[in-house]
Amino acid sequence: MHRFYLPPEECRELRLVLRDTEAHHARHVLRLGRGERVTVLDGAGHEYFCDVRESGKDTVVLEVMEKKFTPPLPWQITLLQAVPKGKIIESIIQKATELGAHRIVPLLSERVTTQLDAGDAQAKAEKWRGTALEAIKQCGSAWLPQVEAPLTPAAFLARGEKFDLALIGSLEEKRRQPRVYFEDFFAAHGCLPKLLALWVGPEGDFTRAEIEAAQAAGARPVTLGRLVLRSETAAVYGLSVLNHELQARL
């Protein structure tokens, strides 16, 4: 079944209207006709199973036949991802969405080659949000992750956000397996962490100062295997491990 996206404020009636790129895709790419069934996601947990009713020049009108709500996961994972070269960040956002990340914060760390001013950062954020939106339509997730404008690690840490468990991919000797941190948390609290963060560095890793600042804020050094992973591989690996540990203890 073909999936489309409409923001929650446009999904309050029994008739939904696709416009702009969504309408163009429905009419000119998929060539959907009257009576065909489609799904609309609002990114806030709701799925609307609809029939196509009308197809105009710039709009496609849908009638809601059934509505379903998917509760959010009992945990929220924030991926703090150093921006790699080129368009690799788009692939990371796509995979992070598929792996259920709640939020993606692109980081302009010292060894990141891409540097952006405020206007460029907002433009990139809008583009990357579109990547996440396309990803939920592809994988069928009912929840659209937040994608923030890129900022420096220092600027993020200055917010003072608190996490139940924050991990940072590390090559240092004192790193530990993710499972050890989960076991320690469960032993101390008798429950799973609800707010988690995963820090993933760029090529060449975070600088020593950046790592120390993240650890001073509570991030714990974690191993992502015996090999040195590319940034995009580390993100997928790390999110997969976090999901495994969380789901195994449900």
What's the confidence (pLDDT) of residue 117? 72
For the segment(s) 76-248, the CATH number from 3.40.50.170, 3.40.50.1100, 4.10.520.10, 3.40.1280.10 is 3.40.1280.10
Q: Which fold has domain 2-69?
A: Ribosomal Protein L25; Chain P (2.40.240)
The rounded radius of gyration (Å) of the Cα atoms in the chain is 20
The mean of the pLDDT values for the chain is 94
pLDDT beneath 70: ranges in the chain = none
Per DSSP, what are the bridge partners of residue 19? 59
**Tokens of residue 219, six digits:** 């991030």
What's the confidence (pLDDT) of residue 113? 75
**Which residue is it, tokens 């240092």?**
172
What's the confidence (pLDDT) of residue 116? 77
Q: Where in the chain is the domain with CATH 3.40.1280.10?
A: 76-248
Give the Cβ contact number of residue 174 at 10 Å: 8
**Which residue is it, tokens 């079944």?**
1
**Which residue is it, tokens 């709500």?**
69
Tell which residue, 236, 244, 192, has the closest CA to residue 74. Answer: 192
**Which residue is it, tokens 């309050």?**
12
Distance CA 179, CA 242 (A): 9
Q: Where in the chain is the domain with CATH 2.40.240.20?
A: 2-69
What's the confidence (pLDDT) of residue 153? 97
